[in-house]
Amino acid sequence: MAQHDIAVIGLAVMGQNLARNIARHGFKVAVYNRSAERTRELVTTHPDPNLTPCFDLETLVAALQPPRRLLLMVKAGEAVDRMIEQLQPLLAPGDILIDGGNSFFRDTERRATALAQAGIHFLGVGISGGEEGALHGPSIMPGGDRAAYAAVAPIFEAIAARAPDGTPCVAYLGPGGAGHYVKMVHNGIEYGDMQLIAESYDLLRRGAGLDAPALAEVFATWNQGELQSFLIEITADILRARDEESGQPLVDLILDTAGQKGTGKWTSQDSFELGVPIPTINAAVEMRMLSAQKEERVTAAQTLRGPAARPAHEPTALIEAVRAALYASKICAYAQGLALLRAASDERGYGLELATVARIWRAGCIIRARLLDEISAAFTAQPDLPNLLLAPAFAAAIAERDAAWRRAISAAIAQGIPVPALSSALHYYDAYRSERLPANLIQAQRDYFGAHTYARIDRPGLFHTNWSELVRRR
């Protein structure tokens, strides 16, 4: 019985599809779910000689050849801790537990430390690509003990998505919670990217008067150029879809409240912890919060006034301006996320290679995009690049689109169409390229009311001024 290569625990759709993916690549997989019916359903609906159902944890663990490898696909949070508590007495030193859910990176580090005391290895592995990616090839972001990763690498490399150049979209990222941290930031960038696309859609819908079918053609065209990505591709598909009952564009019938599961919020929270600005990602998180205030917004719409939203006279010009604004803003969103990864790596000793991170995002994951080939190339050419905006190719790309970027945002402001992510990206760019910011006044204010001191540009040291006395002397 102890001939299986790996166990998959938790057979919701992601767990089922990963188990099927692993089995399809020739590995023998023991599967278990708390609900026995779910286990039977998997092996009945998708029979495979490499899939073996187990109905208790003792049988599952006994089915594995040492070192035993167990992939947990249970809900992040307490469910992971409970499953670890049940499994730990059944395991032996050298066995490997793998958390493939969207766990908070600090929880991963806590679990790894506790399990290490018993000689059990723990890997925190980010898996992106949704249900289809899990079945046909996800992007996989593993972190934890390097030797433990080596024991599961053949499986992960076999099931991972393949980039256009044929390389698998998986690589060891670093110790501790590195894998889940990279997945968290991936999801933060995903939030930003989705909000940028939504604002572009809204600006063309309200500002240019384009309906869903016309917008579908715009996004389909964009997907043939530098904006090519999974999210642009599915946006075109969404805008083409019609409700089967009414015949109306289905997107127009969807309530405008966006959900979130927490990874975007975690990204924002840790950016404040590390002191790294990620305003475009933060704007995306905040807009999901604001979208949830539907009843308040309905009331406010009846009370608060702004400029009338009028379709532009030349929609073609606005379409081109929005295309440029979206591309430039996407560069900024990636720049912010990658800057956060660099800071976290330096602070926590992850040893992340940003070229590798971008490389394994090129296929399988939700933010896969043509842009990532250039991002990987930029960090390969200059591994210590402090910010993506300083890479010559991206600096030139934004300079080429600068005027159009500003025209698109100006059009939105003039018509009262909210574009917080697009505009925050532009403000980030303008602030980053500013040799001097007005923080000198802020520091003077802090010294005035709190004696916090300030540095000067003409001499070294820290200084405090009695500002009210200085003014009185004049």
423 touches 326 (CB < 8 A): no
CA distances (Å), 272 to each of 56, 263, 279, 284, 344, in order? Answer: 44, 15, 11, 16, 11
DSSP state letters, 227-246: T-BHHHHHHHHHHH-B-TTT
Listed in sequence order, the residues at least 6 apart from 294 whose beta carbon sits closer than 8 Å to its beta carbon are: 255, 256, 257
- Active-site hit among 28, 75, 78, 190: 190
Q: Please indicate whether residue 294 is annotated as part of the active site.
A: no
Quick count: other Cβ atoms within 10 Å of Cβ 117? 7
Q: Is 306 exposed, middle or buried (0-12, 13-18, 19+ CB in 10 A)?
A: exposed
DSSP character at residue 164: T
d(CA 91, CA 99): 16
Let me know if 261 is a catalytic residue: no
Choose, from 183, 265, 286, 374, the residue flagged as catalytic. 183
Q: How far apart are CA 427 and CA 80, in angstroms?
A: 40
Q: Report how far residue 99's alpha carbon sits from residue 17's, in angstroms, rounded to the nearest whole number.
A: 16
Amino acid letter for position 241 = A
Burial (CB < 10 A; 0-12, 13-18, 19+), residue 233, is middle
Instruction: Tell me the residue type at 104.
Output: F
CB distance 28 to 65 below 8 Å: no
Among left, alpha and beta (phi > 0; psi -120 to 50; other), residue 229 is: beta
- Amino acid found at 459: R
Question: Catalytic site residues?
Answer: 183, 190
